[in-house]
A and B are shown apart, each in its own frame.
Chain A
Amino acid sequence: MRGLRFTQSFGVALQTLGAWTLGILWIAPLLYAIWAAIHPTGYAVRFEIFAPLTLQNFTAAWDAAPFSRYFLNTFLLVTMILAAQFVLCTAAAFAFARGHFRGSSLLFGLVLIQLMIMPDILLVENYASMRRLGLVDTIFAIGLPYMASAFGIFLLRQAFMQIPKELEEAARVEGYGTIGILLRVYVPLAKPTYIAYGLTSVSYHWNNFLWPLVITNSVETRPLTVGLSVFASTDQGIDWAIISAATLMTSAPLLIGFMLFQRQFVQSFMRAGIR
């Protein structure tokens, strides 16, 4: 019996060791970026505890590229996509969840195709479409292919279907129309799903790279990710300190946001039933 207990606690110790090794491995790039960004360039590859601290790398990076414009572009992009997704996906999800009409399941199947074939893969044709629409090199064009999101429609439909039908009937008796029922009954009750989906969408589009790289070619439209890649590849050579500072700047809003809302984020995922 004692032997068994020993093996068990040995197992727990081993697992703790594994968990922490993995944790350190996973956080190491971020820790390194912070180290390199707050010390003078020479210390990027020398790790001395009492190395002098500096904020110079941040100011140097900020001055070296139009980051304020990139921030604005990304902010506009993410807000525009999120607003459009909430409106379009709510409407479509509601129709799929409650209105059973002829061909609705076929249509839903067609929508789900986008889960597998995302706009990222159809770069070439979507670029051609944007050129025909005269939208190349606009922020609107970066967002347009993502506004009707199958993932959003799918998640919100799931959430709407779990809402008891009696609530809808009660609201109808009270005299609400279809839109009133949607806005007063369904949307408030699906709040966790909106939070989970909203956070996923914001982080996805804040970080998206390939399509924005293809469709933009000027400072006025480039989001942060494309701006950062232009910055790191041409202007800087390999000054790790400044690149690290720029890297931290561009990811800071999301990182801080996540740290503040970490618990809500995980819980909303659980309540949204994305599993």
Chain B
Amino acid sequence: MHRRKLIVFFAPSVAAERAVMRRTTLHAWLLLTPALVLLFAFTHYPAIATFWHSLFSTPRANRPARWVGTDNYLALLEDPIFWQAFWNNAIYAGATIPLSIGIALAMALWVNGRLGGRGLLRMAYFTPTILPMIAVANLWLFFFTPDYGLLDQVTSTLFGWGPTNWIGQPETALGAMIAVAVWKEAGFFMIFYLAALQAIPPTLYEAAAIEGASRWTVFRRVTLPLLGPTTLFILVNAVINGFRLVDHIIVMTRGGPNNATQLLLTYIYEVGFRFWDTATAAALTLVLLVILGGAAGVQFFILGKRTHYR
């Protein structure tokens, strides 16, 4: 009896609530649809189409695409340039990720501290972020020029080294590309660290000072753990850039000399838009997608658990 009364009492408001809910859902879908359509058209669809097209041969004028199964992938495994691009990219990502993050942290700590002229310093660190990579590539091209380039002028004055063809010889070309990438990225990551450092409440440092903790201990026990979420955010960006940031390579070396600076994305560009071999390019793109997907998985499931979110 009692229970039935309750239902009667609540029935109209439940119906009203349902109507509101239905309206909210409708509004949500109306608001979402334009963005979702574009996202699916230019991110999800091409990712799936890449996989599908990698199972066919490249369509040519007189010969349409035909099913080849895993042939494109088997051909990649036999392709020495693919393996070179793969390992080059591993070195490139493996060097730029820790270097740019480490330098960014040092920059942020310096600029956040009480150094003289930190406004100027902050600007100096950040400028590479604003400059177009293409413009920057032109400038670095000059820096790396043998004999009269700036780098050779400095090394010959300081150490008496002879002229070095920094980007023209396989031994140094990839290193030169890594240097440009780190130079370009570090200032951008610094901004995020700086924002995080300034959000740390000063009371924590005061408490540490009362306990008589050394500067190193404060950094290790207070600052560093609080920078965890920022580091994760920066790491995601650094990993993506380790595979995406290739503009300067396309302008400065075109993947050369002798594929010494060929990365996965530059190779996709070369195969897809110079040789117009779209099937091989699709297989290459899928390799890159798998690597990025794997990196995302590692970051979110393993690192994400250890970093405490707010």
Taking Cβ atoms with an 8 Å cutoff, the residues of A that contact B are 15-16, 18-20, 22-30, 32-33, 36, 44-45, 87-89, 91-92, 94-96, 98-99, 101-102, 104, 107, 110-111, 113-129, 144-145, 147-148, 150, 153, 178, 203, 206-207, 209-210, 213-214, 224-226, 228-229, 232-233, 238, 240, 243-244, 247-248, 250-251, 254-255, 258-259, 262, 266, 269-270, 274-275
Chain B residue contacts of A262, Cβ below 8 A: 122-123, 126
How far does the Cβ of A73 sit from chain B's closest Cβ, in whole Å? Answer: 14
Since A122-B46, A150-B43, A274-B192 are in contact, a sample of 15 more A-B pairs with Cβ atoms closer than 8 Å, ordered by chain A residue number, is A29-B183, A30-B131, A88-B34, A91-B31, A92-B31, A114-B39, A124-B278, A129-B42, A144-B42, A207-B133, A210-B247, A251-B135, A255-B127, A270-B199, A275-B199
Known A-B contacts A32-B150, A123-B272, A124-B281; A19 and B138 likewise in contact (beta carbons under 8 Å): no
Chain B residue contacts of A23, Cβ below 8 A: 120-121, 124-125
Q: In the complex, what residue of chain B is closest to A130 when comparing beta carbons? A: B42
Known A-B contacts A125-B49, A251-B130; A26 and B192 likewise in contact (beta carbons under 8 Å): no
Pick the interface stretch among B11-19, B66-74, B82-90, B290-298.
B290-298
A275 B229 Cβ-Cβ under 8 A: yes
Chain A residue contacts of B230, Cβ below 8 A: 275
Q: Which of A24, A25, A113 has the most CB of B within 10 A?
A: A113
Known A-B contacts A262-B123, A275-B195; A119 and B31 likewise in contact (beta carbons under 8 Å): no
Q: In the complex, what residue of chain A is closest to B243 when comparing beta carbons? A: A121
A118 B121 Cβ-Cβ under 8 A: no
Chain A residue contacts of B296, Cβ below 8 A: 116
Chain A residue contacts of B195, Cβ below 8 A: 266, 269-270, 274-275
**B138-196 CB contacts (< 8 Å) to partner A:** 138-140, 142-143, 145, 148, 150, 153, 183, 186-187, 191-192, 194-196
Does B289 sit at the interface, judged by CB under 8 A? yes
- C-alpha gap A23/B46 in the complex (Å): 42
B233 A95 Cβ-Cβ under 8 A: no
